[in-house]
Amino acid sequence: MLQLQTQKRDIFGKKTNMLRAQGLVPAEIYGHGKENLHVSVLAKDFDKVLKEAGESTIIEVVLDGEKHPVLIYDIQRDPLKDTYTHVDFYAVRMDEKVRTEVPIKFTGEAPAVKAYAGILVKALDEIELEALPADLPASIVVDLSDLAELNQTIYVKDIPLIERVRFITDLETPVASVTEQKEEVVEVTPPASEVPTEGEEKAEELPAEEKQASEKE
Give Cα separations from 64 to 4, 40, 180 (angstroms): 12, 12, 58
Q: Is residue 190 a part of any domain in this protein?
A: no
The reply to whether 10 and 67 lie within a common domain is: yes
Q: Is residue 217 a part of any domain in this protein?
A: no
Q: Examine the pLDDT at 216 and tell me if it is beyond 70.
A: no
Q: Is residue 13 a part of any domain in this protein?
A: yes
Given 58, 75, 92, the domain boundary residue is 92
Q: Is residue 170 a part of any domain in this protein?
A: yes
Count up the domains in the chain and report the number: 2
- Check if the beta carbon of residue 100 is closer than 8 Å to that of residue 128: yes
pLDDT, tens digit, 9 for 90 and up, residues 33-77: 778 999 999 999 999 999 998 888 899 999 999 999 999 989 999
Q: Is residue 19 a part of any domain in this protein?
A: yes
Q: Examine the pLDDT at 217 and tell me if it is beyond 90.
A: no
pLDDT, tens digit, 9 for 90 and up, residues 121-155: 999 999 999 999 999 999 999 999 999 999 999 99
**What residue numbers bound the domain in which 147 lies?**
99-179
Q: Is residue 46 a part of any domain in this protein?
A: yes
The reply to whether 129 and 82 lie within a common domain is: no
**Considering only CA atoms, which of 204, 135, 122 is closest in space to residue 166?**
135
Average pLDDT, stretch 207-213? 51
The reply to whether 87 and 103 lie within a common domain is: no
What backbone phi and psi angles, to 5 degrees, belong to 115? -70, -35
- CATH number, position 109: 2.170.120.20
Q: Is residue 215 a part of any domain in this protein?
A: no
The reply to whether 30 and 67 lie within a common domain is: yes
> What's the pLDDT score for residue 209?
52
The reply to whether 50 and 74 lie within a common domain is: yes
